[in-house]
Amino acid sequence: MRAVAAILVAGVLLGHWPELILHLSSDPLLWVARLSGTLPQTVLPGLPGWNDPNAGITTQALGGLAAAQWLRGEVPWWNPYSGVGLPLAAEMQNSALFLPFVLLLALKNGVVALKLAMQLVAAFATFALLRQLGLRRGAATVGALCFALNGTFAWMAHGPMLPVAFLPLMLLGIEWSAAGGRGGEAWLALGVAYTLLAGFPETAFLDGLFAGSWAVLRLAQARRGAWRALLFRLVWGGGIGLLLALPAVYAFAQALPDSAVGVHGAAAGPFLLPRRELALFLTPYAYGTIGFADQWVESGLIGGFLQLGLLPPALLGLIVGRRERGLRWLIAGWALVMFADMLGAPLVGPALDLIPFFARVIVERYVWPSWELGLVVLAAFGLEDWLAGAQRPRWAAPAAVLTAALAVACGLWSGRDHIRDLLTSAPGYWPYLLGSIVAAALVLAASAALLSRAPGRRRASAAGVVLTVEAIALASLPLLSGARGAPLDWAAVRFLQKNLGLARFVSLGPIAPNYGALFGIASVNADYLPVLSSWSDYMQRHLFPGAGIALTPVIADGTELATVMPRHIGEYEAVGVKYVAAFHGSTPFRDIADPPRLAFLGRAIDIYELAAPAPYFALIEGACSLVPQGREAVVADCAAPARLLRRELFAPGWTATIGGAGVPIGRAEEIFQSVTVPAGRSLVRFAYAPPGVGWAWAGFAAGLGAGLIAAARRRAARVHGG
């Protein structure tokens, strides 16, 4: 097992060879935070391992804030640095309660550290699953490496990748329970809990449906009289997992009714995959690296790819395999149904939409982990059949390879118009297309040469090497779009950290939304999903009309905040904005008669100071002297009772105390908080937690207790049995 562990660790690390050997950085900070007026110089064009800026604005920025709060001994319920304060854990996709893994985001380039951790968990969990399915150590090792280097990890190094590692853990728990082994419930509980705590509901939902289908199959296959015991073990393990994740799920569910969810709403309509993106299923770099030529994909929906080398043995296993036929066809059926749904096949979508919440899930983007693991399992069975010398028709292996080749050809044909456009309009594109075709031909030729012959030790080793090298190449190619650094304007960040105090700033470009949370400086910009509607509605009425749910420098229709904000200076001052960050030389206030003064002139970022920002703590009525003690406390010395205003978002869950006694919090100025303070000297403290979260913590404690009791009983049974 030590040799296997070493191989798995080495294989995962080799998937990061551009970072480890060439020292190319894939840190989203260099691309997304916008601390420079230019993008970093890269070896290959494109983005290094993530196809969504959420790798920076959500995972890195908000997850980094959560990690910092945990390290200070705080539960990360609230983010005071985005918008005018917003719930943190309720946003969920930042993985705020994903302990201990979220703590990795406190490290420099913690996104890469988190990705490595998830890949290692995926590798060992997949190996254990394949071994539990009765597969040989070699096939299990290769399969584990292929899943650890899968397309979702290669392209989605942010929230959607985090639950991926725990899908094989859930399936391991189901398999162990089905085999009657003690401990299956524990693996299932851990898999369920971490799938939810990882923080991306849509990936977790589809992975849960796949695992649920797997569990139903095992129940149907259980011997007469054994299915009740299996059902109990599955419900017990899954229930404990749900309880362990309850604080995170509760925070999200509690905030959701009062939040806007953008395209994920019930009225958003179905999402269908454009046909041209079929080319990327098996030849993932046929259109270039991620973001190549600024038009890599049409929809931005595709969330992974399938490793071509796994397809022939998977198809071979479907043709000739005899063991676990039901499981093999369950996996194939799941893939076909989901594929039909994403293409808009008649009847399929409406039928699936009968499943609660399914209609709100973007299947095209988040189904990939179940496909990738399913393909690994099928391929491992196929390799096992081949190695065992299973009787098969002579045409089986050629048919499997030809079917895979036909799938590649159909995908490229579907993208022919886009390929033609890239060949004529994108300099440097043709090597990607040629390389993809040549690589596919070599992989298929190797598959044909190996699977068409009787197996032997050398051929088995060669098959493992081919699949491992292919997986490493596919996973590492995007990382060649990494950079060795970029000239970032840290001086502007330090200026704000020193001078902002309890005020806020607004970005017209630099210091991207949510990055203020990472740097500890409050920015009125926010890019959240879900986001409390009280804030998004206020923002659209007063700060950026037409912006939708996010206050970003540029919105979908191309309107720039820099053209809108100068006409709303008073509204920004009213929410406590003191500074305006703009790219150097952009002069956003050139058409204003009395423009704000330039307070900081940087290499890439200029900062302007507004004349009359509203204070964070102020009085609505009465006369008091106010001495803030940070954002969550203020000393008020009043001659008579007065009303205090706190410019933090009013939301259920906020409480206030004066002298240790609770006082009610009211709403003021549409979205802010107010309390009544008595005459004399008072220390007013504010605190936030999701309302009713104590019940969620009680559920967590019950789940933890149940798990510990079950573990103690198993240990006692082993000791007694020994």
Asked if the model's pLDDT at residue 681 lies above 90, the reply is yes
pLDDT of residue 128: 96
Using CA atoms in the order 286, 292, 298, 302, what is the torsion angle rounded to 10 degrees?
A: 70
What is the DSSP track for 363-375?
A: HHHHSHHHHHHHH
Asked if the model's pLDDT at residue 719 lies above 60, the reply is no
Average pLDDT for 330-347: 93
Which residues does 242 contact at the CB level (< 8 Å), separation at least 6? 192, 193, 196, 249, 703
Q: Is 104 within a domain?
A: no
Looking at 580, 609, 638, the residue that finishes a domain is 609
Q: Is 232 within a domain?
A: yes
Which residues does 286 contact at the CB level (< 8 Å), separation at least 6? 279, 280, 411, 412, 415, 419, 432, 433, 436, 437
Average pLDDT for 505-514: 95
Average pLDDT for 75-93: 95
Burial of 612 per CB tally in 10 Å (0-12, 13-18, 19+): exposed
Q: Is 606 helix (H, G, I), strand (E, B) or coil?
A: strand
pLDDT in tens, 565-624: 999 999 999 999 999 999 998 889 988 888 999 999 999 999 999 999 999 999 999 999
Asked if the model's pLDDT at residue 511 lies above 90, the reply is yes
Please give the helix or strand (H or E) that residue 625 lies within, else none: strand 624-628
For β-strands 642-646 and 672-677, DSSP reports them as: antiparallel
pLDDT band of residue 184 (cuts 50, 70, 90) is: confident
Q: Is 655 within a domain?
A: yes
Q: Are residues 565 and 658 in the same domain?
A: no
Q: Are residues 658 and 639 in the same domain?
A: yes
Q: Is 530 within a domain?
A: yes
The sign of the CA dihedral 279, 281, 282, 283 is positive
Q: Are residues 495 and 594 in the same domain?
A: yes
The sign of the CA dihedral 331, 416, 156, 4 is positive
pLDDT of residue 208: 96
pLDDT band of residue 97 (cuts 50, 70, 90) is: very high
Most confident of 298-307, 381-390, 493-502: 493-502
DSSP one-letter code for 603: S
Q: Are residues 596 and 555 in the same domain?
A: yes
Q: Are residues 653 and 698 in the same domain?
A: no
pLDDT of residue 482: 92
Most confident of 25-39, 627-641, 707-721: 627-641
pLDDT of residue 459: 84
Looking at 586, 609, 632, the residue that finishes a domain is 609
Q: Are residues 588 and 655 in the same domain?
A: no
What is the DSSP track for 678-694?
A: -SEEEEEEEEE--TTHH
Q: Are residues 573 and 627 in the same domain?
A: no
pLDDT in tens, 13-60: 999 999 999 999 999 999 999 998 788 888 888 889 888 889 999 999
Average pLDDT for 246-272: 80
pLDDT of residue 321: 82
Q: Are residues 629 and 529 in the same domain?
A: no
Number of domains into which the chain is organized: 3
| Domain hosting residue 210, numbered range | 158-256+692-722
Q: Are residues 503 and 605 in the same domain?
A: yes
* Angstrom distance (rounded) from CA 291 to CA 284: 12
pLDDT in tens, 586-603: 889 988 888 999 999 999
Average pLDDT for 474-502: 93
Average pLDDT for 2-9: 92
Which residues does 8 contact at the CB level (< 8 Å), separation at least 6? 120, 123, 124, 127, 141, 144, 145, 148
Q: Is 472 helix (H, G, I), strand (E, B) or coil?
A: helix
Burial of 15 per CB tally in 10 Å (0-12, 13-18, 19+): buried
Work out the angle at residue 259's Cα, subtended by the Cα atoms of residues 254 and 264, and round it to the nearest 5 degrees.
105
pLDDT of residue 264: 64
pLDDT in tens, 243-258: 999 999 999 999 999 9
- The length of the chain is 722
pLDDT band of residue 162 (cuts 50, 70, 90) is: very high
Q: Is 355 helix (H, G, I), strand (E, B) or coil?
A: coil
**Tokens describing residue 473:** 């190449």
Q: Is 220 within a domain?
A: yes
pLDDT band of residue 297 (cuts 50, 70, 90) is: low
Average pLDDT for 207-218: 96
- Whether 115 and 160 have beta carbons less than 8 Å apart is answered as no
Q: What is the mean pLDDT of the chain?
A: 91
Average pLDDT for 425-453: 93
pLDDT in tens, 355-396: 988 888 888 889 999 999 999 999 999 998 888 876 567 788
Looking at 587, 609, 631, the residue that finishes a domain is 609
pLDDT in tens, 73-82: 999 999 999 9
pLDDT of residue 713: 66
Q: Are residues 226 and 245 in the same domain?
A: yes
pLDDT band of residue 718 (cuts 50, 70, 90) is: low
Bond prior to 100 in cis (omega within 30° of 0): yes
CA distances from 646 to 501, 577, 639 (A): 15, 14, 19
Asked if the model's pLDDT at residue 540 lies above 60, the reply is yes
* Angstrom distance (rounded) from CA 719 to CA 713: 10
Strand segments (E) across 123-254: none
Q: Are residues 623 and 697 in the same domain?
A: no
pLDDT band of residue 158 (cuts 50, 70, 90) is: confident
